[in-house]
Structure 1
Amino acid sequence: MAELLYRLGRACARRAWTVVVAWIVVLGLSVGAYLAFGGTLSSQVTIPGTATAKVTDQLAGKFPSASGGTGSLVFHTAGGSGFTAEQRTAIGRLLESTKQLDGVAGINDPFATQQQLAEQTARLQAGEKQLAAGRAQLAQARQQLAALPATQRAARQAALDAQETQLEAQAAQLDLSKQLLAMSAEIRTVSKDGTTAIAPVIFKEAQLDVTPETKEGVVDHVSAGVPDGVEVDFSNEITQSVPEILGVGEVVGVIIAGITLMVMLGTLIAASLPIISALAGVGIGVTASLALSGVVDMLSITPVLGVMLGLAVGIDYCLFILNRHRRQLLEGVELHESIGLANGTSGNAVVFAGSTVLVALLALNVTGIGFLGMMGTVGAICVAVAVIIAVTLTPALLSLLGTRILGRRKPKPRPAATEMSNGRAVLTVVAGLAALVVIAIPALSMRLGLPDGSTEAEDSTQYQAYKLIEQKFGAGVNGPLLAVATLPAPVTEDKLVAEQVRIGTQILGQNDVTAVAPIGQSTDGTLLAFQVVPNEGPSSASTEQLVRDLRDLDLGVAGSASGNIDISEQLSDALPGYLGLVIGLSLIIMIFVFRSILVPLTATLGFILSLFATFGGLTAIFQWGWLGAIFGVHDPGPVLSFLPTILIGILFGLAMDYQLFLVSGMREAYAHGAPARLAVRQGLRAGRTVVIAAAIIMISVFGGFIFSNSAIIRSLGFGLAFGVLADAFLVRMLLIPAVMHLLGRSAWWLPRWLDRLLPNVDVEGAALERNHPTPRPS
Structure 2
Amino acid sequence: MQLTGQTGTARPPADGPPGRGLLYGVGHACARRPWRVIAVWLLVLLAAVAADRAWGGAYGDDFDLSGTPSQTGADLLNAHGARGSRGVAAQIVVRSSEGSLASHREALTSAQGRLEELPRVVSVVGPPGAPGAVAEDGRTGYYTVRFEETPAKFEKAYLDRVDDAVRGLRADDVTVEYGGPLGQLARPASADRASEVIGVGTAVLVLLLGFGSVAAAGFPLLTAIVGLLTGLSALGLLAAQFSFAAVSPTPATMMGLGVGLDYSLFLVTRHRKLLHTAATPAEAAARTVATSGRAVLVAALTVTAALGGLFASRVGFIGMLGLAAGTAVLVGALAALTLTPALLGLAGRRIDRWHVRPPVDEPDDPGDIWYRWAAAVRRRPWTFLVLGLLILGTLAVPVASLRLGHIDAGASPASSTERRAYDLTAAGFGPGANGPLTVVVTLDKDRPTTTEQRTTLAEGLHDALVTTPGVASATMPGPTPDGALLVSTVTPDTGPQDRATADLVHRLQDEVLPRTLSPQGATGYLTGGTAGQLDFRDVLADRLPHVVGIVVAAAFVLLLAVFRSPLVALKAAVLNLLSIGAAFGVVVAVFQWGWGASLLGIEETVPVESYVPTMMFAIVFGLSMDYEIFLLSRVRETWLQTHDNHRSVASGLAGTARVITCAALIMTSVFLAFLLSSSVVVKMLALGLGISVVLDATVVRLLLVPAAMYLLGRANWWIPRWLDRLLPRLDPEGAHPAPPAENAPGRVRETR
In the TM superposition, 1:529-568 aligns within 5 A as 529-552=487-510, 553-554=513-514, 555-568=524-537
Task: Report Cα offsets for 1:10-48 as digits up to 9, x if no partner.
Answer: 211121111111111111221222123212321445444
Q: What is the CA distance between 1:222 and its match in structure 2?
A: 1.8
**CA separation of 1:77 and 1:468: change in aligned 2, threshold 3 A:** same
Find 1:717's aligned residue among 682, 686, 694.
Answer: 686
Question: Hey, what does 1:197 align to over in structure 2?
Answer: 140
Q: 1:571 aligns with which of 540, 547, 551?
A: 540
Alignment of 1:362 with 2:311, yes or no, is no
How far, CA to CA, are the matches of 1:513 and 1:564 in structure 2? Answer: 18
Which of 644, 647, 659 is residue 613 of structure 2 equivalent to? 644
Which one of 474, 489, 498 corresponds to residue 516 of structure 1?
A: 474
- The alpha carbon displacement at 1:471 in A equals 2.8
61-70 or 312-321, which deviates more: 61-70
Name the counterpart of 1:409: 358
Deviation at 1:102, TM superposition (A): 3.5
Q: Give distance in 1, aligned partners of 2:477 and 2:462.
A: 11
* Structure 2 CA distance for partners of 1:214 and 1:560, relative to 1, 3 Å: farther
How far apart, CA to CA, are the structure 2 residues paired with 1:367 and 1:696?
A: 32
Structure 1 position 690, deviation (Å): 0.7
Partner of 1:485 in structure 2? 441
Q: How many angstroms does 1:202 deviate by?
A: 3.8
State the shift of 1:239 in Å.
Answer: 1.9
Match of 1:536, SS state, is coil
Distance 2:20 2:620 in 1: 26
SS at match of 1:203: strand
What residue number does 2:7 align with? none
The yes-or-no answer on 1:36 pairing with 2:5 is no
Q: Deviations over 1:258-282 (max 9, x none)?
A: 1111112212232121111111111
Within a 5 Å distance, the mapping from 1:454-533 to structure 2 comes to 454-488=410-444, 498-518=456-476, 520-533=478-491
**Which deviates the most, 540-549 or 310-319?**
540-549
Deviations along 1:710-733, one digit per CA (max 9) or x if unpaired, are 223222222221221222221122
Distance 1:410 1:291 in 2: 42
Q: Between 243-252 and 647-656, report the one with greater CA deviation.
A: 243-252
Determine the structure 1 residue equivalent to 2:94.
75
Pairs within 5 Å for 1:327-406 = 327-331=273-277, 333-406=279-352
Find the aligned partners of 1:766 and 1:25 in 2 and give their Cα distance: 37
Structure 2 partner of 1:265: 211
Give 2:135's aligned amino acid.
V
TM-score by length of 1: 0.83
Q: 1:10 aligns with which of 3, 28, 42?
A: 28
Measure, in 1, the Cα distance between the counterparts of 2:43 and 2:71. Answer: 44
Structure 1: gaps of 5 or more residues: 117-186, 769-778
Tell me which of 160, 164, 170 is aligned to 1:226: 170
Question: Does the 8 Å contact 1:91/1:227 carry over to 2?
Answer: no
The separation in 1 between residues aligned to 2:261 and 2:528, in whole angstroms, is 43
Tell me, what secondary structure is at the counterpart of 1:233?
A: strand
Give 1:239's match in structure 2, choosing from 160, 165, 183.
Answer: 183
Which residue number in structure 1 is paired with residue 12 of structure 2? none
- The residue type paired with residue 94 of structure 1 is A
Write the mapping of 1:26-105 to structure 2, written as runs, cut at 5 A.
Answer: 26-68=44-86, 69-78=88-97, 81-83=98-100, 86-105=103-122
Distance 1:211 1:13, change over 3 A: closer
State TM-score, norm by structure 2: 0.86
Which is higher, the Rg of structure 1 or of structure 2? 1
What percent identity do the matched residue pairs reach? 35
Q: Secondary structure at the match of 1:484?
A: strand
Within the candidate set 648, 652, 657, 2:626 is matched to 657
Deviation per residue, 1:77-103 (Å, 9 max, x gap): 45xx43476435423432343234344
Question: How much has 1:205 moved relative to structure 2?
Answer: 4.1
Do the aligned partners of 1:87 and 1:227 also contact (CA within 8 Å) in 2? no
Partner of 1:702: 671
On the 8 A contact 2:281/2:345 being kept in 1, the answer is: yes
* Contact 1:30 1:284 (8 Å CA) reproduced: yes
Which digits, 9 at most, give the CA deviation of each residue in 1:426-475, with x for residues without a partner?
22222221221121122122222333211322210001111222233211
Tell me what 1:581 maps to.
550
CA contact (8 A) 1:72 1:201 kept: yes
Indicate how the Cα distance of structure 1 residues 574 and 216 shifts in structure 2: closer, same or farther if over 3 A, else same.
farther
Report the CA distance between 1:315 and its aligned residue.
0.7
Report the structure, 1 or 2, having the larger helix content: 1
**SS of 2:75 mapped into structure 1:** helix
Aligned CA RMSD, in angstroms, stands at: 2.7
Q: Quote the residue 1:429 is aligned against.
A: 385
- Which AA in structure 2 matches 1:5? L
Counterpart contact for 2:152–2:184, Cα < 8 Å: no
Distance 1:2-1:308 versus aligned 2 partners, 3 A rule: farther
1:588 to 1:606, Cα distance in 2 relative to 1, 3 A: same
The verdict on how the C-alpha distance between 1:448 and 1:214 changes in structure 2, with shifts beyond 3 A counting, is farther
Q: Which amino acid in the other structure matches residue 231 of structure 1?
A: T
Q: Shift of the alpha carbon at 1:75?
A: 1.8
